[in-house]
Amino acid sequence: MGVAVFAHPTNDRTITGMFGCAANEGVELSRLVLLDEVPGNGESFFVGHCMRTLKALGLAGIVSFSDPVPRRTVSGVLIKPGHCGTLYRALNGRFVGRSSPRSLRLLADGTVLSDRTIQKLRAGEPGTGSIGERLGQLGIRLPDGPVGPELTTLLNKHTRSLRHPGNFKYVWAFSRAAGKHLPSPLPYPKMDPLFYSANT
């Protein structure tokens, strides 16, 4: 019926800086998918059960992010609506602000070409074949051999830049010690339709 992925974040400080513990003592809720036929309140029931299980395992806490910025194809079709973390509010998550602002590279189909993917292409790292196939499906033909010298030209021609103001950040501390390190809670954020429609 669905899956929740609790993973180690890309940056250790996402955990250590938030809870004052070792990096392996906390996790990030990085993915959540439930089928449409799951009844109402299914998300909060499911994730709440997961959180209780993780707390019983002795973890210090959980961090999660919600991305409020929608993604659209180059023709304007909405492929990913933004969300401000309604589920996290239902689970009494503490809102502590935003992640760092950043610039994204959007492909024609509205998906993001991540910085890590671009880095792999520049460096010619192994495993970029599937990336080349995906780009080829969008009409972006990579040169044979090292792609580094031509990558900037290709990106400027085939991608759009989106300035992202940062994802909303929510935390749950499972112990008094971890809770002492948390920043003061902020008012829950609201979506600003004018801002997000103008920037997508």
Q: What is the pLDDT of residues 12-55, one digit of tens each?
A: 999 999 999 999 999 999 999 999 999 888 999 999 999 999 99
Question: Domain residues of the chain, as ranges?
Answer: 2-71+81-100+166-198, 114-158
Helix (H, G, I), strand (E, B) or coil at 122: helix
pLDDT at 146: 66
Separation CA 117–CA 132 (nearest Å) = 11
Task: List CB contacts of 113: < 8 A, sequence separation 6 or more.
Answer: 105, 106, 107, 155, 159
Separation CA 132–CA 144 (nearest Å) = 10
Helix (H, G, I), strand (E, B) or coil at 141: coil
Tokens representing 2 are 């669905």
What is the CATH topology of the domain spanning 2-71+81-100+166-198?
Aminopeptidase (3.40.630)
Give me the residues paired with residue 4 across strands. Answer: 32
10-residue block means of pLDDT along the chain (200 residues)? Answer: 94 95 96 92 95 97 95 92 91 95 92 86 77 83 72 86 94 95 92 48
Tokens representing 164 are 């992202």
| E strands in 50-196 | 61-66, 71-72, 78-80, 94-98, 102-106, 160-164, 168-173
Separation CA 8–CA 19 (nearest Å) = 14
pLDDT at 145: 64
Q: Which of 12, 13, 1, 15 is nearest to 54 (CA)?
A: 15
CA distances from 71 to 29, 109, 196 (A): 21, 9, 10
